[in-house]
Amino acid sequence: MPALDKSDSPLPTTTVKWRFPSVHPEGRKFLLISAVATLVVYGGVSHFLGWLLVGLTIWIAAFFRDPVRTTPVGGNLVVAPADGLITMIAKVPPPPEIAGADGLADAEMTRVSIFMSVFDVHINRSPIAGRVRKMAYVPGKFLNADLDKASEDNERQHFLIEGDDGLLIGVTQIAGLVARRILTFVGEGNSLEAGQRIGLIRFGSRVDVYLPAGTGPRVLLGQRTIAGETVLAEIGVEPGLGGHSQ
């Protein structure tokens, strides 16, 4: 049998090694405060309380972790903007702040909701390449982000992202019970790559994605997504997926 010519193989010949995720700059001040408090308490107050603060410091580092993500490239792909659990998939009108003739129009769209627990990575990423056409911040309540009415009642930040082909996608960051701060890393008019970091929510929350007509999700209820990597949908395709939990 002739030897395999590796130069003709479509498979990559390089390897990727795991590396420890860095802590996002937004979390470093919290990590420093917790670390200093831990040293002070452990050294002069109580070893028991000190060990509790050690656990808190580790959790803060984990919460603000910012792992490198590898985003699939394709003009028709929509990638997940958040790590978390798919808790809702529903046909709903688009948010009024990014609806209308100059936005997502007024017809119902498919909304995919991703719930982020306090243990998930909280860096949010752009689902497509394009331009930030509009942003709208709405102050509100801090209800459980897993509730349907959180999309209308909670504090939230809307993004209207226009793809290079003119396609419009809506993304909404929603604060939750514990979350008290929505942070954005981009502004109106900024150009984005698919999977680029666009914001962060402290501490526990939800992200909604509004898909255009004729596009169905390629994810299922109960499935977990990875921001910037999981393919959420393919433009113009209604997969009609079925599945089960086990």
Render pLDDT for 8-26 as a digit per residue (tens, 0 to 9).
556 666 787 777 778 878 8
Residue 76 has pLDDT above 70, yes or no: yes
Which of 34, 126, 151, 205 is the catalytic position? Answer: 205
Q: How far apart are CA 174 and CA 140, in angstroms?
A: 10
pTM of this structure:
0.84
126 belongs to the catalytic site: no
Q: How far apart are CA 182 and CA 166, in angstroms?
A: 27
CATH 1.10.10 fits 77-234, yes or no: no
Quick check: 175 and 114 in contact, CB under 8 A?
A: no
The first and second tokens of residue 28, run together, are: 């470093």
Considering the chain, what is the average pLDDT of its residues?
86
Helix, strand, coil percent content, the chain, rounded in steps of 5 = 20, 35, 50
Give how far Cα 212 sits from Cα of 54, 109, 178, 242, Å: 46, 6, 31, 21
Quick check: 215 and 107 in contact, CB under 8 A?
A: no
